[in-house]
Structure 1
Amino acid sequence: MVSDEPNSYREPYTIAPAASATPVLRYTWTEFLQEVNNLAKGLMMLGVEHGMRVAIWALNYAEWILVQFATAKIGAVMVNINPAYRTFELEYALKQSEVDTLILQGKFKTSDYVGMFYEACPEAFECRPGNIRSEKFPYLRNVVFMGEIIYNGMYRWSEMIEMGKMISDSELKDREDSVEFDDALNIQYTSGTTGYPKGVTLSHHAVLNNGLIIGDGMAFTENDKLCIPVPFYHCFGMVLSNMACVTHGTTMVIPCPAFDPEAVLYAIETEKCTAVHGVPTMFIAELEHPNFSKYDLSTLRTGIMAGSPCPIEKMREVSEKMYMRDIVIVYGQTETAPGVTMSTTSDSLEMRVSTVGRAFPHTEIKIIDPKTGRIVPYGETGEICARGYMTMKGYYNNPQAT
């Protein structure tokens, strides 16, 4: 759940898309809260009730973060849809998670999101906004376009916001008060390497506290600015980045809709970021960019390298050449919201580059022999098991896999 109070008196920029060829959009915390409330009211006016699924199919735009917190505020369940999905994958996600409302962006490079939606749901051409009728998607009623182009069967973003003015502040407050800490907050789809993707259902309690602990591990404060090139649809963006920032009053800087190494370098220099996240290949792309030496990255101090094994020498290089003396590693999986272990800024560099740290607070971990289920002796290899507040509620509509 999102509290109005902790950040309302501070005025750091909250969202700052920063790329040399695009205008910069900035929100103070107060403005951010107002935008979240406006969107929450708009969703309520569309008929989104507590527990209904609201999907977002978009890259890293400011609207994505607004949807993240507006759905949380009204007790809806946000469904993250991978922007790389094609039509058949969109169909699967919409059906499997029983989506009521879909929010989608326009074209990006070769991806035509509106076109793919119409391919999946041609009936939308003949429907009025808010009245989608489809045998394939029996739960789907609303589609919202993140822009001002008029499409058949879709609300425009501004149209939804305007409709929300019919909802009073007291109605919004009543809805917010009905949300419980262990309610479902979010559905994220696993990669599907062992079959169809499974919808990992995470609670408010899991996501909020994971973000809080992550930010604590990096010693985040309201004076920090985190550059976020990792995708929002993934836990790395949504929790380790967005939620870690919001729980500490830290500025979120969105350098580009999709990863662009020079846009990241530009954003770090221009916005004087103190932290940047990335998977190892992102850091390698930044270090090896021909213009790397032209950018001043001296304001950096920390960030997370995660998502795949982190080469020790590359960690050292990032620490030295990008001034990230306090870079850390997080280990986990989507099913644990996602962090389980983490190194922190207080650990030695040797500890941070050669291990994945120690267990999160309020988390239990053991290493077992997968054949016997018994805990292995110290120093032996085994399977890691974890439990705690961060464990998923289950795979949505898939009790057998759960």
Structure 2
Amino acid sequence: MPSQVNALTASYARGRTDVPLIEQTIGDFFAAMAGRQGARDALVSRHQGLRYSYAQLHVAARQLASALLSQGLVKGDRVGIWSHNNAEWVLMQLATAQVGLVLVNINPAYRTSEVEYALNKVGCKALVSMPRFKTSDYLGMLRELAPELASCAPGQLQSKRLPALRTVVWIDAAGPGATGPGAAELDADQPGMLRFSQLMAQGTSADERIDAIAATLSQHDPINIQFTSGTTGFPKGATLTHRNILNNGFFIGECMRLTPEDRLCIPVPLYHCFGMVLGNLACFTHGATIVYPNDGFDPITVLEAVQAEKCTGLHGVPTMFIAELDH
């Protein structure tokens, strides 16, 4: 049967085309934004007592990118983040993007079998985790999955149940540059694991490898894996590119009419696209300020953050807004 080439016709509906799509990587875009407004607030993490200007956040993200490279990670490797909202989360988001590492969002509600499935499904080579939250003992779950941690050197894990995982990093109490209450209270060392502060100390923002790798990256490269909820089967890892999530964040910010004068309170979880894309990247693409009120939702700390930080925007889901209005 002879082949036929049908002429292309216009679709019935189409979106606006007057605003061009961003064709940069996340790292390049953020570097340019930091260069334009380095002195402006980029991030306020109230529960940690941390504040970063755009220039400070850019330097810290480069230092972390350098540190991740020092762990032997290379472009395309998967790096998991298993944590509630904090400065370390957004630093991981920026640092991995700088050097082509694929950030894997791990739901903090996962239990042992679920995190085992997620880490193995995508082959995470490194994992950054908060130590615990309320009744969830994240490091305990990791030790259950990888008892080999008790006898291995940090970064040298060889686990039967987590065969791809080599490096486990836990977010220690001090965090990067912490000065707030409790900053000096450090937990005991964890065998086979690195503290986040130790990892940061291994890097330098002047590392020439960062720019060399960045020059090889494309906006079409995969940079993030987000898992579906798994309501109809096992969770599926959706692989997203720089172009996907950067433009998603940008156009959300456009709809919100964000400007560098805006300050967005983000109590929704960062592991979900609501927090890391519609929150973080909506702000970063418009030079606005991110405000994290807490690591787990609490209506009073959200309202306190909105007032104290003079927030002009507030993210949330209906149950959050109802709790805030009922307070």
CA positional deviation for 1:108: 1.3
The answer to whether the 8 Å contact 1:232/1:238 transfers is yes
User: Helix, strand or coil: the match of 2:224?
Assistant: strand
Gaps of 5+ in 2: 1-25, 173-185
> Given that residues 13 and 251 in structure 1 are in contact (C-alpha distance below 8 angstroms), is that contact kept between their aligned partners in structure 2?
yes
Give the letter aligned to residue 143 of structure 1: V
Partner residue in 2 for 1:17: 45
Say which SS state the counterpart of residue 164 (structure 1) adopts.
Answer: coil
Shift of 1:24: 2.4
In the TM superposition, what is the alpha-carbon distance from 1:8 to its structure 2 partner?
Answer: 2.4
1:233 aligns with 2:271: yes
Alignment of 1:345-360 (within 5 A): none
> 1:197 — aligned with what?
235
Name the SS for the 2:34 alignment partner. Answer: coil
- By how many angstroms is 1:87 displaced? 0.8
Considering fraction of residues, name the structure with more helix: 2
Q: Decide which of 210, 213, 218 is 1:175's aligned counterpart.
A: 213
Q: Give the superposition deviation at 1:159.
A: 1.6
Secondary structure at the residue paired with 1:195? coil
**2:116 matched to 1:88?**
no
Report the TM-score, using the length of structure 2 for normalisation.
0.85
Deviation at 1:7, TM superposition (A): 2.7
Task: Select 2:294's aligned residue among 247, 253, 256.
Answer: 256
1:77-116 Cα shifts (integer Å, max 9, x gaps): 0000000111111111111110000001112111111111
How far apart, CA to CA, are the structure 2 residues paired with 1:188 and 1:194? 16
Whether 1:221 aligns to 2:246 is no
Matched, 1:35 2:63: no
The 8 Å contact of residues 128 and 170 in structure 2, kept in 1 or not, is answered as yes
CA distance in 2, matches of 1:139, 1:115: 19
Q: 1-side partners of 2:36 and 2:308: how far apart?
A: 25
Matched, 1:120 2:159: no
Q: 1:12 Cα shift?
A: 2.0
Give the Cα–Cα distance (whole angstroms) in 2 for the partners of residues 90 and 169 of structure 1.
Answer: 33
Kept in 1: contact 2:34–2:58 (CA 8 A): no
- Runs of at least 4 residues of structure 1 off by over 3 A? none
Shift of 1:17: 2.1
Paired AA for residue 163 in structure 1 = Q
What does 1:1-400 align with in structure 2 at a 5 Å threshold? 1-3=26-28, 4-10=31-37, 11-18=39-46, 22=47, 24-147=49-172, 149-165=188-204, 168-289=206-327
What is the CA distance between 1:23 and its match in structure 2? 5.6
Maintained 8 Å contact 1:9/1:30: no
What CA deviation, in whole Å up to 9, does each residue of 1:5-55 have, x standing for no partner? 22324222222123xxx5621001100001100100000000110000000
Determine the C-alpha separation between the residues in 1 that align with 2:48 and 2:190. 26
Deviations 1:100-157 (A, max 9, x none): 0000111211111111110111111111101000122221111111115411111111
**Contact 1:142–1:154 under 8 Å retained in 2:** yes
Distance in 2 between the 1:87 and 1:74 partners? 30
Counterparts of 1:255 and 1:145 in 2: how far apart (Å)? 21
Matched residue type, 1:224:
D
How many angstroms does 1:174 deviate by?
A: 0.3
Q: Partner of 1:329 in structure 2? A: none
Secondary structure of the 1:133 match is: coil
* Aligned residues between the structures: 285
Root-mean-square deviation over aligned CA pairs: 1.2
Partner SS state of residue 221, structure 1: coil
Report the equivalent of 1:393.
none
Distance 1:274 1:183 in 2: 34
- The AA in structure 1 aligned to 2:194 is Y
- Following the alignment from structure 2 to structure 1, what is the Cα–Cα distance between the partners of residues 91 and 48? 19
Cα distance in 2 for residues equivalent to 1:17 and 1:186: 23
Whole-Å separation in 1 of the counterparts to 2:321 and 2:211: 42
CA distance in 2, matches of 1:93, 1:67: 18
Alignment-mate amino acid for residue 88 of structure 1: S
Deviations 1:344-364 (Å, cap 9, x if unpaired)? xxxxxxxxxxxxxxxxxxxxx
Amino acid at match of 1:110: T
Contact 1:130 1:142 in 2 (8 A): yes
Kindly indicate whether the alpha-carbon contact (under 8 Å) linking 2:266 and 2:293 is maintained by their aligned counterparts in 1: yes
- SS class of match (2:135): coil
Between the aligned partners of 2:286 and 2:27, the Cα distance in structure 1 is 13
For residues 127 and 43 of structure 1, the distance between their equivalents in structure 2, rounded to whole angstroms, comes to: 19
> What are structure 1's unaligned runs of at least 5 residues?
290-402
Query: Whole-Å Cα distance in 2 between the matches of residues 34 and 176 of structure 1?
Result: 15
